[in-house]
Structure 1
């Protein structure tokens, strides 16, 4: 089922040149159901119309938003390790809260029907207890500046929806991986590909991940699904794995043996604490699970790609372009 007022028409995307954004744009273009406008610093594709847009400066998209049915807002100041700015929270708020809400206000004034906001599971928190996955109904507990900024943006968007009647859809993904993934996930593939022994063979945690294809499918579904209006959706592959299992399955996708040493998690955590890297140990040894039952039931949706299928696609791209 689709909302006929949104199922065909004009869409405006922000962040369409990013890791997730490029895949969303490609999927929307393939569907051939919408005229797409990309708001970005500079033009990057000849297939769509571009309008100048920079979250870090003042902007006026009012005229460009006229006639737009749906805004998909993916541009953001993203989570960064070892942030060096003097006021990280202020920097995140300027982009992820102030600029996001200004864009949403301009969209509402222009008569945009729906505003889709790509948030983060960090709004829920950093870690889950055993058999207690995060849900959309949980009390938010963001702990770092990025998560706090995303939560504050969510609050502002909900207030704007109540005030103006514009639908707001909030999507909180867990860790996203897929072809061209960078950062820690790509480092993990590099270690496995080189056969480097890793002390991660005895981790019994549970973590949710989401393949890029699955996240994109959900975002596109939310563009015109009537059940998405004013909802908050968690998204994952719906198959949680331990760090050890993920490494083994990733190694298998790469066609490499997983050289994992069974070092107890407690010992890893103690060593990380001595080195001042508790955050690294938490990500490797702690659990973070997302319950997506609300997403599946509300939208009659299921992740179209399995974890192993997505790992194979990710591995294939890595093997073809290992130095990306």
Structure 2
């Protein structure tokens, strides 16, 4: 199946490209900023993604587009109008690609969105579902929702199938950001005041996300659906840190500080936002994936953590 992948040099896209390129069922084309940027067998140079990008060459004979490229979430965005900058790539760039995909005869468009479309937090035990009313709280989440809405309108108008996938935090080999910071702290065996956190967080291992995306390429029931995806094993922050320590072969030195005390101390240091992320819950319900697609996460959290820290998973 002829498949175009954008974002092939990114954290998710790189793994997707490696897996798809090894499977005879797919003839993969990677859209890249410069030729030679991936291990993909066929590359097409795309200098940038916005409302004016010409995708003609990249879309020749393609049956499926997997759009993983995006202006990524930035914790401290210093541009004067962040929402406008997100929209240029995540909304205008996405819909420009999708419209050209329709004209080129693409059958299915898979969009890697974000759980931030649903929101930032869930009450413990009340996970987000794919049918919930979206409630993004930041510019990145808003731009992703607007792209989703535009794609769904285009699907209704043209008949091109659209599949929307909203992952939570993705971890795996080469992970950066907050997860990488946690691994560094655990690796140093520093004492951390996070031994009594009783929240619940859904994560998704990179291998599980890639497997789910590939399932959505050809499964007929995936057409015009929105899916949330996770490992199916929710963890508290305490459990997460312990899982990372086990995978690294390190001791987890976690001090059981009450949540209210931790939050108070963090507020004195101007770190309330960080504390809330560590203490809050964000759960997703993936029963739809099982019911509609028969999909189950192929690897466990333990194996995902081992892959993330560079240990063999057996």
TM-score range with shorter-chain normalisation? over 0.9
Per the TM alignment, residue 172 of structure 1 is displaced from its structure 2 partner at its CA by: 0.2
When normalised by structure 2's length, the TM-score is 0.96
Partner of 1:302: 296
In the TM superposition, what whole-angstrom CA distance separates every residue of 1:126-145 from its partner, at most 9, and x where no partner exists?
A: 00012110000101000000
- Taking the aligned partners of 2:276 and 2:147, their CA distance within structure 1 comes to 26
Matched, 1:35 2:30: no
Per the TM alignment, residue 62 of structure 1 is displaced from its structure 2 partner at its CA by: 2.4
- Taking the aligned partners of 2:71 and 2:263, their CA distance within structure 1 comes to 30
Per the TM alignment, residue 235 of structure 1 is displaced from its structure 2 partner at its CA by: 0.3
Partner of 1:207: 201
Per the TM alignment, residue 46 of structure 1 is displaced from its structure 2 partner at its CA by: 5.2
Matches within 5 A, 1:215-294: 215-294=209-288
CA contact (8 A) 2:130 2:227 kept: yes
Partner of 1:99: 93
- Taking the aligned partners of 1:138 and 1:56, their CA distance within structure 2 comes to 29
| RMSD (Å) for aligned C-alpha atoms | 1.4
SS of equivalent residue, structure 1 residue 64: coil
Give unmatched runs, 5+ long, in structure 2: none
Matched, 1:83 2:72: no
When normalised by structure 1's length, the TM-score is 0.93
In the TM superposition, what whole-angstrom CA distance separates every residue of 1:49-91 from its partner, at most 9, and x where no partner exists?
A: 2222211573111243131000000000000111111111111
Give unmatched runs, 5+ long, in structure 1: 1-8, 319-324
Per the TM alignment, residue 190 of structure 1 is displaced from its structure 2 partner at its CA by: 1.1
How many corresponding residue pairs? 310
Q: Which region of structure 1 is more displaced relative to structure 2, 238-247 or 63-72?
A: 63-72
Partner of 1:3: none
Partner of 2:43: 50
SS of equivalent residue, structure 1 residue 115: strand
- Taking the aligned partners of 1:312 and 1:60, their CA distance within structure 2 comes to 41
- Taking the aligned partners of 1:82 and 1:48, their CA distance within structure 2 comes to 36
- Taking the aligned partners of 2:211 and 2:202, their CA distance within structure 1 comes to 17
Partner of 1:153: 147
Partner of 2:3: 11
